[in-house]
Amino acid sequence: MMSVTPKPLEGIRVLDLTRIISGPYCTRLLADCGAEVFKIEPVGGEYMRVKEPMKVGKSTYFGHFNAGKKSVEIDFRSVNDLAAIRKLAATCDVVVENFRPGVVRDLGLDFATLASGRKDLVYCSISGFGQSGPRARHPAYAPILHALSGHDLAAMSYAEDVGKPFRTGIWYADLIGGLFAFSAIQTALIGQLRHGIGQYIDVALMDSMINLLVLEMQEAQTPSAFERWLATPVRAADGHVIAVPITGRIFERLADLTGHPEWKQDTRFNTQLEREKNWPALMALVEKWTSERSAADCEAAMMEAGIPCARYQTVSEAIHDEQVIARALMSDVGEGAGAFKVANLPFLLSGTPLAVGPRVPEPGEHTKDVLDLFRSSAGQDQNP
């Protein structure tokens, strides 16, 4: 039996000055990897604590991003509390913030202040547009960045009979920005450990979104000679499936499975280039076969034949999928009626389980233990 090694970031302390989604997601992943994360919240707790959906009076949305952390409440108007946070920061390896550019400087919690007298601090700022440039101080929620980055018009161009960009409720920009911050911090920590030098990290959600649009970015500069093929859903008897018979061998399997070996000689489909050019015609033929069968039967038959295929699942179905269960992706957070499931990190380490923390801290739960010593030495409280 393999012995369990310590989590990779055990011993790393993180001052978490973040809120909403991008920053808390980044710092939760750091906590999953073993870091001790001090989440600094305003008096009464962060706004997201009352964000639906709620379970037993507590936000599971907030809990998803903040499980496994230590909660410290402060009055951001208090000179004494801010001084205490600066002293706490001096004991931390990493600081993460996602305020609008300029706010942490006004609070005295910026990189220049916290790195004074030390050279090893890793400090990460996450913002909509980055810390410099003409848009730097513009407010930015995820949908704004989806629109400006080109993502939404690219997605619209792939849809059929759509006259305006789609509505969205999935905050890609926040999540991908949090992931890039997570990876940047660990890269900087390797440099800190190897060279003794910290880093100031500037993560922009706009930059993160543009990084997703790889082919679209290249197409914008050098358009393809013909319209590219697009992965296309086809109807099943009770829903939809998607199949990708793009290579020659997979296409031949598809022709045999559907009872149409003559497709192999069809000049529209007998090379990969021709299949790509005539993809809508191929999918129309495939749909005649899939529409007579259930989505589950289509998936099972095609996958058995070695043809990439999937039925469309709801999120509820996906988190209970046999593959998700087999990989133990979901962890329970909380207890009893208040328990809910959260996705673990999307990678496994051979010697170290990296499950999400088992509980969400109460507002200010760790304030006394963490800050009392620093508050007592921070000087007399003043409220500007």
Number of domains in the chain: 2
Are 61 and 162 found together in one domain? yes
Are 356 and 262 found together in one domain? no
Are 39 and 182 found together in one domain? yes
End residue of a domain, out of 307, 338, 353: 307
In tens, the pLDDT along 233-245 reads: 999 999 999 999 9
Are 97 and 158 found together in one domain? yes
Per-residue pLDDT, 215: 95
Are 295 and 162 found together in one domain? no
Given a cut of 90, whether residue 274 has pLDDT beyond it is: yes
End residue of a domain, out of 307, 341, 357: 307
Are 167 and 62 found together in one domain? yes
End residue of a domain, out of 254, 274, 307: 307
Structural domain boundaries, residue 66: 13-214+326-376
Residue 302 lies in a domain: yes
User: For the chain, how many residues are written?
Assistant: 384
Per-residue pLDDT, 381: 45
Residue 282 lies in a domain: yes
Residue 226 lies in a domain: no
In tens, the pLDDT along 176-231 reads: 999 999 999 999 999 999 999 999 999 999 999 999 999 999 999 999 887 888 99
Say which DSSP state 123 is in: E
Those residues whose C-beta lies under 8 Å from the C-beta of residue 69, and which sit 6 or more positions away, are 16, 27, 28, 31, 37, 38, 39, 357, 361
**Structure-block tokens of residue 102:** 């300029």
Are 346 and 252 found together in one domain? no
Per-residue pLDDT, 190: 97
Cα separation, 61 vs 190, in Å, equals: 31
Residue 177 lies in a domain: yes
Per-residue pLDDT, 228: 84
Per-residue pLDDT, 127: 98
Residue 381 lies in a domain: no
Q: Find the Cα–Cα–Cα–Cα dihedral 10, 13, 17, 19, rounded to 10°.
A: 10
Residue 80 lies in a domain: yes
Are 330 and 294 found together in one domain? no
Are 253 and 193 found together in one domain? no
Per-residue pLDDT, 379: 53
Beta strand 70-74 with 94-97: parallel, antiparallel or unpaired? unpaired
Cα separation, 372 vs 305, in Å, equals: 65
**Least confident segment among 2-6, 56-60, 318-322:** 2-6
Using a cut of 0.85, tell me whether the model's pTM lies above it.
yes
Q: Is 62 helix (H, G, I), strand (E, B) or coil?
A: helix
In tens, the pLDDT along 304-358 reads: 999 999 999 999 999 999 999 999 999 999 999 999 999 999 999 999 999 999 9
Residue 116 lies in a domain: yes
Per-residue pLDDT, 116: 97
Per-residue pLDDT, 348: 95
In tens, the pLDDT along 355-384 reads: 999 999 999 999 999 988 787 665 544 444
Are 58 and 158 found together in one domain? yes
Residues 161 and 65 sit within 8 Å (Cβ to Cβ): no
Per-residue pLDDT, 384: 40
- In order of 154, 192, 246, 316, the CA distances from 276 in angstroms are 19, 48, 8, 33
In tens, the pLDDT along 130-179 reads: 999 999 999 999 999 999 999 999 999 999 878 899 999 999 999 999 99
Per-residue pLDDT, 94: 98
Domain at 131, CATH number = 3.40.50.10540
Those residues whose C-beta lies under 8 Å from the C-beta of residue 250, and which sit 6 or more positions away, are 244, 306, 307, 308
Residue 205 lies in a domain: yes
Cα separation, 317 vs 242, in Å, equals: 17
* φ, ψ at 100 (rounded to 5°): -60, 140
Average pLDDT over residues 278-307: 97
For residue 132, count other CB atoms closer than 10 A to its CB.
10
Are 33 and 166 found together in one domain? yes
Q: Is 218 helix (H, G, I), strand (E, B) or coil?
A: helix
Per-residue pLDDT, 224: 87
Are 60 and 158 found together in one domain? yes
